[in-house]
Amino acid sequence: METMPTSPGVYRMLDAKGEALYVGKARSLKKRVAAYTQPARLPERLRRMVSLTASMEVITTHTEAEALLLEANLIKRLKPHYNIVLRDDKSYPWLMLAEDHPYPQIAKHRGAQLRKGSYWGPFASAWAVNQTVTAMQRVFLLRSCADTVFAVRTRPCLLFQIRRCSAPCVGRIDQAEYGKLVAQAKAFLAGKSATVQQELATEMEAAAATLAFERAAAIRDRIRGLTFVQGNDVVNPASLRDADVIAAWSAAGQTCVQVFFVRGGRNNGNRAFFPANARNEETPEVLAAFIAQFYDDKPPPPQVLVSHPLLEQALIAEALSLKAGRKVEILVPQRGEKHEVVQHAALNAREALERKLAESAGQAKLLEGAAALFHLPAPPNRIEVYDNSHIMGTNAYGVMIVAGPEGFTKAAYRKFSIRGPLTPGDDFAMMREVLQRRFGRALREEADGHGPDWPDLVLIDGGAGQLSAARGVLDDLGVNDVPLVAIAKGVDRDAGREWFHTADAPAFQLPPRDPVLYFLQRLRDEAHRFAITTHRAGRSKSLIHSELDEIAGIGAARKRSLLNHFGSARGVKMAGLTDLEAAPGISHETARRVYAHFHPGVRMEG
């Protein structure tokens, strides 16, 4: 304690394996850590944590706000058992108006914002941003096609025919007029929809005055589209321009946090979150931890409206302002339109939590049924299901899916590219390889002092032969305490007539309407779906690469250069000769060779 600094910072409490148990921040590290040296004053949960702590690491910061940002980053990355953790591993889509082309493209975008242009968002889901892209096409007639497609068009596409694009690719609109559309679109996205609507009304009246009735009718349709977009939002308060609305609802020891994204005065969608390790924690504490972690990888808006006063609310606002480089307000509205918006978000949080609790109760009964059916000592917390997919042994993949009390745990899904060698169609050999790799790794992790996730039940798609092969693999590895079940379809292969094979009982069937049967079918079907999609993705990748491999004189470096420049083999295939010559590292002769491969019979001059 004597060497502990008195400055602000972050501390990590580590167990004997060096894994983080808890991450915390403090205005004074020395004072905060001193509190843990008096376990009698701590609640039972923290006493248990202190008893498991073998060492501690500290990182000093200049201010407490910096400490809070660092704490949120570490919690999100390390996921300590004793912290409230935001489970949010998905990137958020943005709307991109690419401006590195004379005719800017509008498109959905994820990931790093490296391309020159304007980015608007984030949106809560791909559906929300796709709706906005469609609206922007309808109102502003902006193109959504890729530059490579734009470059090779010779006539307008279907979007022009249904009045969703102005067809700049074939000169149906000049650059100046298209620029006006882009400017109007930017104004609309910035929340100036009234100004845009007035401009369109003026244009329509001018067209009608000059008897250009067809143009006036087209502008009228755009105004109607704009009116529809403005009136179609669930949350569209006039008093909000750029803000996030965050509300929490707690029940039965769990908390749901609902977030609405409002940008430019429009609702960009909403999403529900269920923070981990938040059981029986107070709602304001969960909300404060959520907000700090939520903005770890995304810019906070100028206003954040919340349903509860936060612990250290001023500090969190200071930290978000530091991250954004401008002032960020955290408000708890008590009346008026903003209060109504927060209440609406709270209602959504309550309904989402009630649905989850109902699903969890149903899931718990199904797990209890599976435990009784297969004579397990307790309802399984982790069920692993294995399947494989191939075409005569080619592009062979095995997969593992995971399910438990919360339903499917997609973050735990695994793909296994079969290394072989194996005889084409040898499903037994594929299953043996997958199980050897999965459980062999688990044994190595356990030997290294790590705690691997062991399944309480393993399901395999197949019959007695698959069960025997799987049991042989686990016996060879010394894994004798994992229950194995094989699920095989009957002779007529009808769903509902499956046979279940176990090691200690004859094969049996369940009544066709048994809820546990439906549950096990869902698990098997999810594994099959994942196996098929994994196989198709691998096969498509193989076909794409082989198509370029067929071109004489195109090695790995040139192939990589072409794929990086055009985005895909299809983009290379559709590119014109001039476009190919413009690609980095591609000479005139190489471009001619590639073009000739995809366009046999086309004569090229020079």
Q: Angle at CA 526, nearest 5°, toward 525 and 527?
A: 90
Residue 566 has pLDDT above 80, yes or no: no
The mean pLDDT value for 226-251 works out to 72
Q: Is residue 605 part of a domain?
A: no
- Taking only the tens place, the pLDDT of each residue in 363-404 is 999 999 999 999 999 999 999 999 987 655 456 788 999 999
Same domain for 175 and 295 = no
Q: Is the pTM of this model over 0.85?
A: no
How many domains does the chain fold into?
5
Same domain for 391 and 521 = yes
DSSP 449-498: T------SEEEEES-HHHHHHHHHHHHHHT--SS-EEEEE--TT--TT--
Q: What is the CATH number of the domain that holds 556?
A: 1.10.150.20
pLDDT of residue 538: 62
pLDDT band of residue 248 (cuts 50, 70, 90) is very high
Same domain for 530 and 566 = no
DSSP 121-181: ---SSHHHHHHHHHHHHHHH----S-HHHHHH--S--HHHHTTS---GGGTSS-HHHHHHH
Q: Is residue 151 part of a domain?
A: yes
How many Å apart are CA 434 and CA 477, to the nearest integer?
A: 13
The mean pLDDT value for 79-107 works out to 89
Q: Angle at CA 424, nearest 5°, toward 423 and 426?
A: 65
CB 11 within 8 A of CB 70: no
User: Percent of the chain scored above 90 by pLDDT?
Assistant: 41
How many Å apart are CA 453 and CA 456, to the nearest integer?
A: 10
Q: What is the CATH number of the domain that holds 33?
A: 3.40.1440.10
Tokens of 406: 């919360």
Q: Angle at CA 255, nearest 5°, toward 251 and 257?
A: 130
Give how far the C-alpha of residue 165 lies from the chain's centroid of Cα atoms, to the nearest Å.
30
pLDDT of residue 483: 94
Same domain for 536 and 408 = yes
pLDDT band of residue 227 (cuts 50, 70, 90) is low
Q: What is the CATH number of the domain that holds 293?
A: 3.30.420
How many Å apart are CA 403 and CA 278, to the nearest integer?
A: 21
CB 216 within 8 A of CB 204: yes
Q: Is residue 236 part of a domain?
A: no
Kind of pairing between the strands at 303-306 and 243-251: parallel
CB 249 within 8 A of CB 349: yes
Q: Is the peptide bond before 80 cis (omega within 30 degrees of 0)?
A: no
Terminal-to-terminal C-alpha distance of the chain = 80
Same domain for 62 and 168 = no
Residue 465 has pLDDT above 50, yes or no: yes
Tokens of 562: 């072409």
Secondary structure (3-state) at 67: helix
Torsion angle in degrees (nearest 10) through CA of 87, 91, 95, 99: 150
Q: Is residue 362 part of a domain?
A: no
Secondary structure (3-state) at 201: helix
Secondary structure (3-state) at 372: helix
Same domain for 220 and 177 = yes
pLDDT of residue 137: 85
pLDDT of residue 290: 95
The mean pLDDT value for 247-267 works out to 90
How many Å apart are CA 165 and CA 142, to the nearest integer?
A: 5
Beta strands in 264-413 (DSSP E): 266-273, 303-306, 329-331, 383-391, 394-404, 407-408
Instruction: Classify the C-alpha dihedral 11-15-18-20 as positive or negative.
Output: negative
- Taking only the tens place, the pLDDT of each residue in 425-454 is 677 888 888 999 999 988 988 877 666 789
Q: Is residue 259 part of a domain?
A: yes
Q: Is residue 447 part of a domain?
A: yes
Same domain for 312 and 398 = no
Q: What is the CATH number of the domain that holds 429?
A: 3.30.420.340
Tokens of 88: 């949010």
Same domain for 271 and 184 = no
Same domain for 556 and 480 = no
Instruction: Classify the C-alpha dihedral 564-566-569-575 as positive or negative.
Output: negative
Same domain for 332 and 274 = yes
| Cβ burial 313-327 (10 Å sphere, 16+ → b, else e) | bebbbbbbbebeeee
- Give the residue ranges of DSSP H helices in 40-118: 44-52, 64-78
User: Could you give the count of Cα atoms lying within 13 Å of 77 in the half-sphere of its Cβ?
Assistant: 10
- Give the residue ranges of DSSP H helices in 190-238: 193-209, 213-230
The side-by-side arrangement of strands in the sheet containing 94-98 is 105-109, 94-98, 117-120
The mean pLDDT value for 524-550 works out to 72
Q: Is residue 311 part of a domain?
A: yes
DSSP 562-573: HHHHHSSHHHHH
Task: Report how many helices (DSSP H) and strands (DSSP E) the chain contains, helices first.
Answer: 19, 19
pLDDT band of residue 233 (cuts 50, 70, 90) is very low
Q: Is the peptide bond before 421 cis (omega within 30 degrees of 0)?
A: yes
- Taking only the tens place, the pLDDT of each residue in 272-307 is 999 988 877 899 999 999 999 999 988 999 999 999
- Taking only the tens place, the pLDDT of each residue in 473-502 is 999 999 988 999 999 876 555 556 789 999
Same domain for 57 and 39 = yes
How many Å apart are CA 23 and CA 25, to the nearest integer?
A: 7
Secondary structure (3-state) at 248: strand
- Give the residue ranges of DSSP H helices in 374-462: 427-447
Q: Is residue 445 part of a domain?
A: yes
Same domain for 193 and 281 = no
- Taking only the tens place, the pLDDT of each residue in 204-221 is 887 777 777 777 777 777
Q: Quote the domain boundaries for residue 308.
A: 243-355
